[in-house]
Structure 1
C-alpha cells in the first residue's frame, strides 16, 4: 500500500487532519499504539532496532510524526528504520514532518524600556530533550528532507479554551502571574501540514513557529469567561470568581482596560514567517462569546 501522507500517532490533530485530507482527495493512513479506530498498530521504541513494527507501515510521500521524541538519537533512528523497512526505492523520496511545541522558546521575554523582545522561529532555543531531538531531525536535511512545526496552544473540538481558566487560575495569586496566551486551531494546524506536504522544498531543513497571529491576555479571557465549572453567585452569572479577581487586580496594578499592553504580557511569539512563506492566513481565532 502507498499513501500520500502517513500520520504516526493519530489523536486530537487527526480529528481535523483526516477530514481535510478526505476533502482534498489526499490518501492518508494513521497509526495508534493499539490499532484503534481502523488505525495501524505502531509503537515507536527508541531503544529498539527491530524493523518489524515499521514493516506494517505503508509507503508514503510524507511522514508526519505527531508524538514527541526526546531520547538522543531517536529522531535519526525513526527515519533510518522507516527507510530500511521499505522494499522499493520510495525510501529515497520520503519526507518527514515533526510536530513540536512553542515551549522550546519558553523563557521570559526581556522588557527593556517598556518594549517587549519578540520571539520568532530564528530565536535561540532552550536546551531541553525535545528541542534537541527536533534539531537532530532537521540535521538530516538535505539528504532526507525534514521540517519541524512548533505549535502554540492547541484548541478546537474537544479542546475548549473556556475550560482552561479554572485550571490555570485556581487562585487570585495564580491569575496575577498569568500573561500572554498563544493559540492555534486544529484546522489551521491541518492546513499548515498539508501546505508543507504540497510544497516541501520551501520547508526542508527549517523550523517553523505556528500561532494564529494573535497574543491573547489571560486576564482578558478570565474576565470574559471565569471558571465555567463553578456555580458562582451575584453578578458573575455563574462564571466563578475569576472575573471579580481580574477587576481587583486591574485596580491593584493600575491597569485601565483590557487587554493589557504587550509590556505586561511577557513572552510574545511572531509566526508571520510561516504564513507568508506558504501564502496562507489563519482562519480560526478565539471568540470571547
Structure 2
C-alpha cells in the first residue's frame, strides 16, 4: 500500500517539529500540525512528496545529511534505534551541525517512538514498571534520554485507516494452539498517537518514558469470536459477497469453533475473560492524565 505523505512545510531557518522518517504515523500527524499551526518539516529516505531526503547511517560520520535538516525545537524519531551508540551518534551529528542557528535558545529536544514490548512481566504494567533493560531498543532509548533532552513514547499496536487489527488474525492464529496462547491485545489509533506527539511537544517531559495505549485491554478470544461472526453475517447478507471463497467461510467457522472449544476446555464461562487470566496487561492512563487529554478513538471494532 502506498501511503500519501502531505508535503513538508519548508522553512530555511527553523521549524517547531522535525519528523525523521515520515511514514504511516505522519498521515495522521501532519493534518494535526497544520490545524495547530505548528511549523514542521519531514524526511523520507528518497525525498518523495516534497519531503527532505535523509537516511540515518549509524556508521557514517558524514555531516552532509544532517546539514540539510532545519533546526527544530523538537525532533521526532519514528524509526527504531538499537543498541549502544546509535542514539548518541544521531544526537551528536544533529547538534554539531546546528550550533550556529540564530534562533537557538535551548538544546534541541528529541522524541523517540518505541514499542510496549519492552514490558514483558505477565501482570499489570505501567510506565513506571520494570522493563527489559537488555532489549536493543530499550538500550537505545535509555541512551537517548541520557545524552540529550529526550523522551520516549512506547506505543501499543498501531492501527487506523487500512491497518486494522482484524486483519492480523490469520497471521497470528494459524492453529488452535496459537489461539490458546493468545491473551491480551493492546492497541492505539494513529490519530491518538499523533495527538500524543503534539501534546508531548507542547508539554515536554525530558528523561521520561511513556506507555501509550487506548486504555483498553482486549481479549483476543472475544475479538476473534466477534469478528468471525460479523464476517459470516456479512457474507450471508451482502449480495456482493456471492463470490466469497468457501475456504474463507470455513476459516471463520473454524475460528468460532476453536473459541468455543477452548472456553469449555479452559473453564471460561464468558467472554471477555478477566484480565487476571490474560497475562501481561497495560495501564496506559499515565500519559493521558499528565497531558490533560484522553484518547478519542474509543474501542476497536
Q: Structures share a fold, TM > 0.5? A: yes
8 Å contact kept, 1:121–1:207: yes
1:96 corresponding residue in structure 2: 110
The counterpart of 1:119, out of the listed 106, 125, 129, is 125
- Cα distance in 2 for residues equivalent to 1:282 and 1:50: 41
For the aligned residue pairs, the C-alpha RMSD in angstroms reads 2.1
Equivalent pair of 1:231/1:238 in contact (CA under 8 Å): no
2:92 maps to 1:80: yes
Give the whole-Å Cα distance in 2 for the aligned partners of 1:119 and 1:240. Answer: 35
Asked if residue 45 in structure 1 is aligned to residue 52 in structure 2, the reply is: no
Does residue 181 of structure 1 match 2:185? yes
**In structure 2, what is the equivalent of residue 225 of structure 1?**
227
1:65 counterpart (77, 95, 117): 77
What residue number does 1:6 align with?
A: 18
Cα gap change, 1:264 to 1:94, in 2 (>3 Å):
same
Match of 2:203 among 199, 204, 207: 199
Match of 1:18 in 2: 30
Match of 2:158 among 154, 159, 180: 154
* 1:215-266 per-position Cα deviation (integer Å, ceiling 9, x unaligned): 00000111011396984589x6973521221111111111111100112100
**Structure 2 equivalent of residue 32 of structure 1:** 44
Other-structure match for 1:209: 211
Q: How high is the TM-score relative to the length of structure 1?
A: 0.89
1:55-113 per-position Cα deviation (integer Å, ceiling 9, x unaligned): 111111110000000141110111111111123152743210000000111x241xxxx
Matches of 1:231 and 1:174, distance apart in 2: 24
TM-score (structure 2 length as normaliser): 0.86
Q: Which runs of 5+ in 1 are unaligned?
A: 110-116
Shift of 1:160: 1.0
- Quick one: which of 231, 245, 269 aligns to 2:282? 269
1:152, 1:184 → 2: CA distance? 6
Note the C-alpha offset of 1:286.
Answer: 3.0
Return 5+ residue gaps in structure 2 as ranges: 1-11, 233-243
Alpha-carbon distance in structure 2 between the residues aligned to 1:233 and 1:163: 16
- Output the CA distance in 1 between the equivalents of 2:39 and 2:45: 21
| 1:172-211 Cα distance to aligned partner (Å, 9 max, x none) | 11111100001100000001100011111xx111110001
Would you say the 8 A contact 1:209–1:274 is kept in 2?
yes
* Contact 1:10 1:32 (C-alpha < 8 Å) held by counterparts: yes
Distance 2:150 2:105 in 1: 13
Following the alignment from structure 1 to structure 2, what is the Cα–Cα distance between the partners of residues 151 and 137? Answer: 17
2:260 is the alignment partner of 1:247: yes
1:110-152 Cα deviation digits (max 9, x unpaired): xxxxxxx311111111111110000011112xxx421000000
Note the C-alpha offset of 1:153.
Answer: 0.5
Name 1:281's counterpart in structure 2.
Answer: 294
